[in-house]
Amino acid sequence: MLSEVKAALQAEYEQQTITGFNETTIDGYSGFIFTNRYGGVYSPHVINRTIERIYKTYNKQEQALAEEEGREPLLLRHFTVHNLRHTFCTRFCENEANLKVIQEIMGHADIETTMNIYAEATREKKREAFTNLEGKIKIS
């Protein structure tokens, strides 16, 4: 776990020792960390709506600023909470060579899921791989 994530979760734990822990059980799962203002569990739909409000607000502000500055706006496309998982796994794959570690952290049943669905090689990483390979293989 990243140290910043661990610190944030520890802070949340400390807060919940005062305010109370989530007692919700859904389909046999319990121990949920974050709760909404009513003490219930956040649904993916609510999180996606929040993300949508954030990027729509950003895009509106960026559009106005770009128009004011006489340039093309840099707009965020639609994305969901699952896209954040996808992005994390892609960045993780770019920085970790052990595929079994990636598979286990992502919770995939098999390595094919990890490599075929989540691990996209970016254009920059492809270039970097060939730059690192340069001079290491003799063609003639």
Q: Is 102 exposed, middle or buried, given 0-12, 13-18 or 19+ CB atoms closer than 10 A?
A: buried
Give the tens place of pLDDT for each residue, 81-126.
999 988 888 888 878 878 899 899 999 998 888 877 765 666 677 7
- What is the arithmetic mean of pLDDT over 50-72? 98
Q: How far is 138 from 134, CA to CA, in rounded Å?
A: 9
Q: Which residue has the tokens 């128009």?
A: 67
Please state the pTM of the whole predicted model.
0.69
List the chain domain ranges.
1-42
pLDDT top residue among 136 and 107? 107
- What is residue 47's predicted lDDT score, i.e. its pLDDT? 94
Q: Is 34 left (phi over 0), alpha (psi -120 to 50) or beta?
A: beta
* Tokens read off for 61: 């502000």
